Structure 1
């Protein structure tokens, strides 16, 4: 998983593009659109260039370009037409395909143009919920099928994180002096922070004061906030950490830290299911997802 992935199976291409392997083979044989290589045992595999070309073809085909017409275009023409199409597309599914293409090509210009076009007709909240969340869900599936490499995921995640941070910064001066302050952090060795970043945006949008501590925070760092009379609500999100076998121990440590104080902890993520039957002595609330939490805020 840590090596740069340059070769893809036809199943990888199907997972990424949404086009059935059978259809890809037809496009390959009938129209010579892709040129796979073969292993010594005669198994097809496709290059990164093949993948990028397929994503461009899908974008054009979804916008009324017939495959027979695309087959007559040069590789350069396919790239130019698809980029222009991506820049002008407003459909959510097309935007998601454009973001896929931007991710696999490390194309920041394509990402930003697609994002800016969406904002012509949508609010940032709508873009995040209707486009970024389905896109990120798809990235999760690509991880599970070992189709995605860390470089791709880091590139696109950082671009999305920048958009969240920019929109959050715009709200900073509208924050009220609310009685409760939210302190947002991720457990040690947890680096997947897009959900927490977006939650920070939503809390700020609602006029709340937030302190964003970010990735990989040791629990003893919370001691600073336990002194004094100010009330805090701690929020954490768990994607891969702690490991399943350590989740119960982690929550018991938090329970001990917050026992007898007025502060609250909110935890989100699928790992909260592992401790849903525990009886806490402190004020701890569990939510399966950030979306579930937002419904109650």
Structure 2
């Protein structure tokens, strides 16, 4: 794991914890809660252990532990108390904080325990909408501030994907609407599939038959389904791919494919705004987000 981020600026700590840098400095000076290191050029930085400690402090402070009291606790006591609290409460903000901790510590046990605690209070759909979506949005912000490494995102995304898949598997015998088949896929080189995985879960939950093809699918693979006698609705999600200079050509190709078909094609995701101006077949539709799409399904 030599690609794991080993040092953080105070701005990184602010972005991750939600605590203003000014407050963090006060906690340092008044309570000695964090002791930043310094580079050879005297620039302050913080270790992964400092980040973990800060997240633990925030979790305790958000649950009525005064900072002055936390300052008197040993590092071990702070860790144990916050971990116990994360397991016990695990509601929205506390759960998001626990998931941040699990991500930066690569702690699968903490993730699963926090998730299982949430299940006592929420359905899986509520967990995804109330906790996972805000958490993933926060991860997006951390990407923009260059606070996050691919290793962190891959670790936590895979854990969330496992939860979506396991909940989908429980519903596989729930199919009662066989008039239409939904074929879900991502464009070539697109790997951001959590949203599409969750959409697949929602469709199965509603009794629809789905075929989940996953990441990086060449468009010519759709021809197989065009020969089917079943009514097909293709759904794709565009987060990174195709790149801006290729996306119009991509949808012109889709337009040609769909011109010989009465089936439906739906594209969702943040990149659809790049092609909404194109004059395409009426059976091609765009939705800005998966929640927007779910409102009409």
SS in 2 for 1:244: coil
- Any idea what the Cα deviations from partners look like across 1:179-209, whole Å, max 9, x if unmatched? 1100000000000000000000000001000
1:49 aligns with 2:49: yes
Could you tell me how far 1:42 is from its partner in structure 2?
A: 2.0
**Contact 1:258–1:282 (8 Å) recurs in 2:** no
Alpha-carbon separation, structure 2, partners of 1:226 and 1:167 = 29
Following the alignment from structure 1 to structure 2, what is the Cα–Cα distance between the partners of residues 242 and 3? 27
Shift of 1:263: 1.3
Q: Which residue of 1 aligns with 2:32?
A: 32
Pairing of 1:8-87 with structure 2 (within 5 A): 8-87=8-87
- Structure 1 counterpart of 2:114: 114
Partner of residue 215, structure 1 = 215
Q: What is the number of residues matched between the two proteins?
A: 296
Kindly state the Cα deviation for residue 3 of structure 1 after the two structures are TM-superposed.
3.7
For residues 290 and 18 of structure 1, the distance between their equivalents in structure 2, rounded to whole angstroms, comes to 27
CA drift of 1:105 comes to: 0.8
SS at match of 2:262: coil
Instruction: Check if 1:186 corresponds to 2:204.
Output: no
Aligned to 1:101: 101
Give the TM-score of the pair, scaled to structure 1: 0.97
- Per the alignment, residue 204 of structure 2 pairs with 204
Distance 1:213 1:67 in 2: 50
Any conservation in 2 of the 1:187–1:216 contact (CA below 8 Å)?
Answer: yes
Determine if contact 1:182/1:232 at 8 Å carries over to the other structure.
yes
1:229 Cα offset (Å)? 2.0
The worse-fitting range, judged by mean Cα deviation, of 172-181 and 208-217 is 172-181
222-231 or 132-141, which deviates more: 222-231
1:270 Cα deviation after fit: 1.1
Structure 1 gaps of 5+ residues are: none
**Deviation of the 1:43 alpha carbon:** 1.8
Q: Give 1:106-255 correspondences, 5 Å limit.
A: 106-255=106-255
Asked whether the 8 Å contact 1:183–1:213 carries over to 2, the reply is yes
Task: Report the TM-score, using the length of structure 2 for normalisation.
Answer: 0.97
- CA deviation vs aligned residue, 1:184-237 (integer Å, no higher than 9, x gap): 000000000000000000000010000000001111111111113222100000
Q: Work out the CA distance in 1 between the residues paired with 2:201 and 2:228.
A: 27
Whole-Å separation in 2 of the counterparts to 1:91 and 1:230: 43
* 1:54-81 CA-partner distances (Å, limit 9, x unpaired): 0011111111111111111111111111
Unmatched 5+ stretches in structure 2:
none
